[in-house]
Structure 1
Amino acid sequence: MTKADLIESVYLKTGFSKKESAEIVELVFDLIKTTLEKGEKIKIAGFGNFVVKEKDSRRGRNPQTGDEIEISSRRILTFKPSQVLKGAINDSNA
């Protein structure tokens, strides 16, 4: 599913115009993005948690040359689905 598909779904289910639906979807994504940029956790009941984690710098190895390199510290985004979402996914595969 793409952003355009999400906008189309909002348009069909809410009765808002396509422009209004696009603005709503963009607003939600912008709110999620700015919250995560601040390092804050996002918890959506029945869906899951988005968490920004800090990874320390470490020694690594270039797979092509075998040379040791320094991998810099960075922030990563993790997602942990809720039990409700896991159940819905597993029930739909049955």
Structure 2
Amino acid sequence: MRHLAERLSETHELPKRQANEMLTQVVEMITRSLKKGEKIRLTGLGILQVRKRAARMGRNPQTGEAIKIKASKKIAFRPAKELKEAV
């Protein structure tokens, strides 16, 4: 994130500290929104959202023993068409 803050400060003629604080606040805002279950759409970049994974059965790869995997949440990112085409 430091590199982004440096570029932001150069582009907008801001002190590096201020640019870093702004980026930190953006990350905190995104985190709070994801905790609430909201979908974050960043135009030109993509969509961040929390997805729920159901409990399921799995296998211990070392012993082959069946184990129960607990339900969990994960953060998913779906890139925007513009980002896919640019990369």
TM-score, normalised relative to structure 2: 0.94
Q: Which amino acid aligns with 2:36?
A: K
Map 1:1-94 → 2, pairs under 5 A: 3-89=1-87
Distance 1:18 1:81 in 2: 28
Distance 1:45 1:11 in 2: 22
CA shift for structure 1 position 87: 1.0
Q: Which amino acid aligns with 2:68?
A: E
Distance 2:73 2:11 in 1: 36
CA shift for structure 1 position 47: 1.1
Distance 1:84 1:22 in 2: 26
| Structure 2 stretches lacking a partner, 5+ long | none
TM-score, normalised relative to structure 1: 0.88
Q: Which amino acid aligns with 2:40?
A: I
Distance 2:84 2:41 in 1: 15
Counting aligned pairs with the same residue, the percent is: 34
Give the paired residue count. 87
CA shift for structure 1 position 19: 1.2
| Structure 1 stretches lacking a partner, 5+ long | 90-94
